[in-house]
């Protein structure tokens, strides 16, 4: 069978379907589907993504069979429309648009009104009876084609247009006449010739192929590459090209164009949400040059601009019907584009709408209630990482706020930061650890890297569907858009609010993306409530997942937060964090500085009741859920003072000389502390430290069991084991202390002694280690460090380069390197089970909160993942996704 490259759609017939997104891209597949279900879609055809792949494989050449298929499909469009492409009397005009498998809003190129030249424009005048419209369409085409296809600097033609308006003494494009537009077309073409040295192509066929080439070419433009990287879209997917008969929303006041969501994409509320513009072409809505009008009055009761429901009631009712059809058909919230040409409604696009996390949850839960989807689908509809947005704080209602302006609440959340005015600055400042707010007149796809780096985005222009709003919502970033109350001046790097307040670069402001307010200074925030729909969804999540989720927590407070987020235990309590407390550090230092065992024991005796108190607090918060406590891990010198003043203070309190302390610091200095005297090596050389810690754990547990009737099984974890011998020795010591304390309290208490697997040698000899260890917890931070031979603390300097240049697919400290480090984890699980079939297996490195790594942990059969408290809901959802997709 010969390969097919072109897929036609029109008049109720389509060669594609919505499940052919890989081949036709999202837009093409859905245009085909909408056509088949009888919705009014202008006819056209889609050139498949396979052509894009071949185009790049063959040095930007098309497959030989493509041209004939395009001609045949174009002929069918001509027949349906009763117009001919390039015909002087009755010409067909087309749009040429990109459409990849995953939506990449605004990242690639589009050409509209294609097929116009000095001859065919006469045909358009005849068709429309409107010379002004025809020449306006013609100049828009020349302007867009020059930019997108010919690579002409956009500002040059924009400037000529501004000049023309000045010369005519008008402000709006709509005030220019047919003669003005006609003249501009000539000026534009002459300027293009002068600037680029090439003629603007008049032949519609040449225009068509130029535009097709530009759209395929835009797959590899810088902003598309950046967007793909941020959204993990593989470069080899390619884009499709959609060629479609033009319909015009700018032929007069019975014409319009708009975008809508079948439910509110910010809140998820079930009402029809959208914006439209009368007498405008599609790009006018998105560009944010004119303020769009709402399609109805549901949320805009007192608005001044007339709604579509009021000015075009018939088309609005038809659109409402289509909304219902689309939701029933796709069983998901849709993001649609439509155009009304002379009172007739056309659908130009539908796709699953991007939404904020709160909206995603509300829509998923309500669609289950409405019987549209089942619980499993609802759970799979919410992306685990998206929950991160929900776990962000909102403004403290009691805090004082100085509101200086109000814009549109484009993407929820509340953030503070220093004002910057360019995307590059945002990126540069964020790299130095500063929190910034990117303030722009409006954003464009070129700003994507700055939007990513900023805490939040504020724009002076643009509606709820402007670039800034759509992209920010997709990123889960707080955004206030279309804030007409401010005047942005890039030259002086300031913006001025209506009330005269001037905000300079570097000044602190706060944005509330849920109300649209802009405030001066940093306003305090509070955590969000995790009840209602969130609770319902997470209930389903817990029903589906099979892997447990614990939290890494070192304090009673964090343990409470973790439990509130649904943690089912503590997977890692790092005891060293308790040592840094102001009251304790002196005793810790005393212990380190004592050369004699006696002195160390004296100091440890001071620390012990404090440690015990912490453990009681944590056990109490966890109410009998498992708690894994790790014995001391970092090298001792980390606890010693570095500054001269601190050294002097310490010398005074301890009654020793400054020299003695400095000498000790020097003595403890290590060239490579990460591979030095740390972890279980401390326990081997200073057994009294681990003995004290084990005693504190066991006394805490025994006391709660004896006095408060708790059921506790403490899990004592020994870090950085390389050989089973280390564990043998340390386990013996620990068990002896445990038995002694249990006997002393006279209670019945079980306990487990296990180890972290965080060195390759431990993973490789896991069968031997499992003879001693009652559980393994994979410390994938250190295991990544030691497997790659890559310092956790220094990699930040060069790792981004590795990721940018594709040497590593992503930062292995963020997402587990499944083919390398993951292989060791898998092997250790298998090996461990050979000698202890019921060994408890978990992970407590940062990867425990990364959805892709959680999926991997499920696949290899870990009992639990453990992550920071704020990521617990993300891990729960990821674990449910893993269970549902395996």
Positions marked catalytic: 467, 844
List the single partner that 515 binds among Mg ion, ligand PEP, none, CB under 5 to 8 Å by kind: none
> What b/e readout covers 11-47, taking b as 16+ CB neighbours within 10 angstroms?
eeebbbebebbebbbbbbbbbbbbbbbebebbbbbbb
Please give the backbone phi and psi of residue 807, each rounded to the nearest 5 degrees, phi first. -70, -40
Residue from 10, 252, 845, 851 binding ligand PEP (CB under 6 A) = 845
The SS3 of residue 870 is: helix
Q: Which residue, 351 or 871, has its beta carbon nearer to ligand PEP? A: 871
Nearest 5°: the CA angle 768, 774, 777 is 90
Q: CB 720 → ligand PEP: shortest distance, Å?
A: 8
Q: CB 494 → ligand PEP: shortest distance, Å?
A: 44
List the single partner that 570 binds among Mg ion, ligand PEP, none, CB under 5 to 8 Å by kind: none
Q: Which residue, 104 or 757, has its beta carbon nearer to ligand PEP? A: 757
Q: Beta partners for 492? A: none
Q: Which residue, 252 or 634, has its beta carbon nearer to ligand PEP? A: 634
Q: Which residue from 562, 684, 701, 567 is spatially nearest to 631, judged by alpha carbons? A: 684
Residue from 277, 844, 879, 880 binding ligand PEP (CB under 6 A) = 844
Q: What is the 3-state secondary structure (H, E, C) of 49-70?
A: HHHHHHHHHCCCCCCCCHHHHH
Query: Which two three-digit tokens encode residue 87?
Result: 């015909």
Q: Which residue, 310 or 576, has its beta carbon nearer to ligand PEP? A: 576
Residue from 16, 252, 779, 851 binding Mg ion (CB under 5 A) = 779
Q: Are 417 and 458 in contact (CB under 8 A)?
A: no
Dihedral angle sign, alpha carbons of residues 281, 287, 289, 293: positive
Q: Are 876 and 855 in contact (CB under 8 A)?
A: no
- Specify the stretch interacting with ligand PEP by CB under 6 A; choose among 51-59, 171-179, 557-565, 779-787: 779-787
Residue from 131, 427, 782, 817 binding Mg ion (CB under 5 A) = 782
- Specify the stretch interacting with Mg ion by CB under 5 A; choose among 81-89, 499-507, 538-546, 773-781: 773-781
**Pairing outcome for strands 864-867 and 548-552:** parallel
- Specify the stretch interacting with Mg ion by CB under 5 A; choose among 78-86, 174-182, 418-426, 755-763: 755-763
Residue from 429, 726, 782, 817 binding ligand PEP (CB under 6 A) = 782
Q: Is 677 in the site for ligand PEP (CB under 6 A)?
A: no
Place of tokens 């659109």: 319
The end-to-end CA distance of the chain, in Å, is 35
616-645 residues in contact with ligand PEP (CB under 6 A) are 633
Distance CA 82, CA 420 (A): 53
Residues in the chain: 886
List the single partner that 572 binds among Mg ion, ligand PEP, none, CB under 5 to 8 Å by kind: ligand PEP
Count of residues in contact with ligand PEP, rule CB under 6 A: 10
Q: CB 844 → ligand PEP: shortest distance, Å?
A: 5
Q: Is 780 in the site for ligand PEP (CB under 6 A)?
A: yes
Q: Which residue, 245 or 628, has its beta carbon nearer to ligand PEP? A: 628
Binding track, positions 731-760, relative to ligand PEP; x by CB under 6 A: ---------------------------x--
Contact partners, residue 645, CB within 8 Å, separation at least 6: none
Residue nearest to Mg ion (CB): 782
Binding track, positions 560-579, relative to ligand PEP; x by CB under 6 A: ------------x-x-----
- Specify the stretch interacting with Mg ion by CB under 5 A; choose among 6-14, 72-80, 308-316, 782-790: 782-790
List the single partner that 780 binds among Mg ion, ligand PEP, none, CB under 5 to 8 Å by kind: ligand PEP
Q: Which residue, 292 or 635, has its beta carbon nearer to Mg ion? A: 635
Q: Are 453 and 415 in contact (CB under 8 A)?
A: no
Residue from 53, 127, 781, 815 binding ligand PEP (CB under 6 A) = 781
Distance CA 367, CA 794 (A): 48
Which string of DSSP letters, residue by residue, matches 18-31? GGGHHHHHHHHHHH
Q: Which residue, 175 or 670, has its beta carbon nearer to ligand PEP? A: 670
Q: Where are the extended beta strands (E) located within 11-145?
A: 13-14, 44-47, 84-85, 91-92, 94-100, 110-114
Chain contacts with Mg ion (rule: CB under 5 A): 758, 779, 782
Chain contacts with ligand PEP (rule: CB under 6 A): 572, 574, 633, 758, 779-782, 844-845
């Amino acid at each position: 069978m010969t390969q097919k490259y072109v897929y036609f759609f029109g008049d109720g017939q389509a060669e594609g379907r919505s499940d052919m997104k890989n081949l036709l891209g999202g837009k093409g597949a859905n245009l085909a589907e909408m056509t088949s279900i009888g919705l009014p879609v202008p006819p056209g055809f889609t050139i498949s993504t396979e052509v894009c792949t071949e185009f790049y494989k063959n040095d930007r050449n098309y497959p030989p069979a493509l041209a004939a298929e395009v001609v045949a499909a174009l002929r069918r469009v001509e027949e349906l429309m009763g117009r001919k492409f390039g015909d002087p009397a009755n010409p067909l005009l087309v749009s040429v648009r990109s459409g990849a498998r995953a939506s990449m809003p605004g990242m690639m190129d589009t050409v509209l009104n294609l097929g116009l030249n000095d001859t065919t424009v006469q045909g358009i005048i005849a068709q429309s009876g409107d010379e002004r419209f025809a020449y306006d369409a013609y100049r828009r085409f020349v302007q867009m084609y020059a930019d997108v296809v010919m690579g002409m600097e956009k500002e040059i033609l924009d400037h000529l247009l501004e000049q023309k308006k000045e010369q005519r003494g008008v402000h709006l494009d709509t005030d220019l006449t047919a003669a003005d537009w006609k003249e501009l077309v000539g000026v534009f073409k002459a300027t293009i010739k002068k600037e680029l040295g090439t003629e603007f192509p008049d032949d519609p066929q040449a225009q068509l192929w130029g535009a097709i080439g530009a759209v395929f070419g835009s797959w590899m433009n810088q902003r598309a590459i950046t967007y793909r990287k941020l959204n993990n879209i593989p470069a080899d997917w390619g884009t499709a090209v959609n060629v479609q008969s033009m319909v015009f929303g700018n032929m007069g006041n019975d014409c319009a164009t708009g975008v809508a969501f079948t439910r509110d994409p910010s809140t998820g509320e079930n009402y029809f949400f959208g914006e439209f513009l009368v007498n405008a072409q599609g790009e006018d809505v998105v560009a944010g040059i004119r303020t769009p009008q709402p399609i109805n009055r549901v949320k805009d009761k007192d608005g001044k601009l007339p709604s579509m429901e009021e000015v075009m009631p018939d088309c609005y009712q038809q659109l409402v019907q289509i909304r219902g059809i689309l939701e029933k058909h796709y069983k998901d919230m849709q993001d649609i584009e439509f155009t009304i040409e002379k009172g007739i409604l056309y659908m130009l696009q539908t796709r699953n709408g991007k939404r904020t996390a709160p909206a995603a949850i509300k829509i998923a839960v309500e669609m289950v209630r409405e019987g549209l989807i089942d619980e499993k689908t609802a759970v799979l509809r919410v992306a685990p990482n998206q929950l991160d947005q929900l776990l962000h704080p909102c403004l403290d209602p009691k805090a004082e706020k100085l509101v200086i302006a109000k814009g549109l609440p484009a993407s929820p959340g509340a953030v503070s930061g220093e004002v910057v005015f360019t995307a590059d600055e945002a990126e540069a400042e964020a790299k130095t650890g500063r929190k910034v707010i990117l303030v722009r007149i409006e954003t464009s796809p070129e700003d994507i890297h700055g939007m990513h780096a900023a805490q939040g985005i504020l724009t002076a222009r643009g509606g709820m569907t402007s670039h800034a709003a759509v992209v920010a919502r997709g990123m889960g970033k707080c955004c206030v858009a279309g804030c007409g109350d401010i005047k942005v001046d890039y030259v002086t790097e300031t913006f001025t609010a209506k009330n005269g307040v001037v905000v300079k670069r570097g000044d602190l402001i706060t944005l509330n993306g849920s109300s649209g307010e802009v405030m001066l200074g940093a306003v305090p925030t509070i955590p969000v409530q995790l009840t209602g729909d969130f609770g319902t969804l997470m209930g389903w999540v817990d029903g589906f997942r099979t892997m447990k989720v614990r939290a890494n927590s070192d304090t009673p407070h964090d343990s409470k937060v973790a439990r509130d987020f649904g943690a089912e235990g503590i997977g890692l309590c790092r005891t060293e964090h308790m040592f840094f407390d102001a009251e304790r550090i002196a005793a810790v230092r005393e212990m380190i500085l004592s050369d004699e065992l006696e002195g160390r024991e004296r100091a440890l005796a001071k620390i012990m009741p404090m440690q015990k108190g912490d453990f009681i607090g944590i056990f109490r918060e966890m109410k009998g859920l498992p708690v894994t406590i790790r014995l001391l891990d970092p090298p001792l010198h980390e606890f010693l003072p570095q500054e001269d003043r601190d050294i002097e203070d310490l010398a005074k309190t301890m009654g020793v000389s400054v020299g003695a302390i400095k000498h000790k610091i020097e003595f403890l200095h290590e060239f490579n502390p990460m591979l030095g005297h740390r972890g279980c090596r401390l326990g081997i050389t200073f057994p009294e430290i681990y003995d004290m810690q084990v005693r504190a754990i066991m006394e805490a547990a025994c006391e709660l069991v004896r006095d408060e009737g708790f059921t506790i099984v403490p899990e004592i974890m020994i870090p950085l084991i390389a050989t089973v011998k280390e564990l043998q020795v340390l386990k013996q010591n620990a068990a002896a202390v445990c038995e002694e304390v249990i006997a002393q309290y006279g209670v019945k208490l079980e306990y487990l002694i296990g180890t972290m697997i965080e060195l390759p040698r431990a993973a490789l000899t896991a069968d031997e280690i499992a003879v001693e260890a009652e559980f393994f917890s994979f410390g994938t931070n250190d295991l990544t460090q030691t497997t790659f031979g890559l310092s956790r603390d220094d990699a930040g300097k060069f790792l981004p380069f590795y990721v940018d240049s594709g040497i590593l697919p992503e930062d292995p400290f963020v997402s587990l390197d499944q083919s390398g480090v993951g292989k060791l984890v898998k092997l250790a699980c298998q090996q461990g089970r050979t000698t202890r079939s019921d060994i408890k297996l978990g992970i407590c490195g940062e990867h425990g909160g990364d959805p892709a790594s959680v999926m991997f942990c499920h696949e290899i059969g870990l009992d639990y993942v453990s992550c920071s408290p704020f990521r617990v809901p993300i891990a729960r959802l990821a674990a449910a996704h893993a269970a549902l997709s395996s």
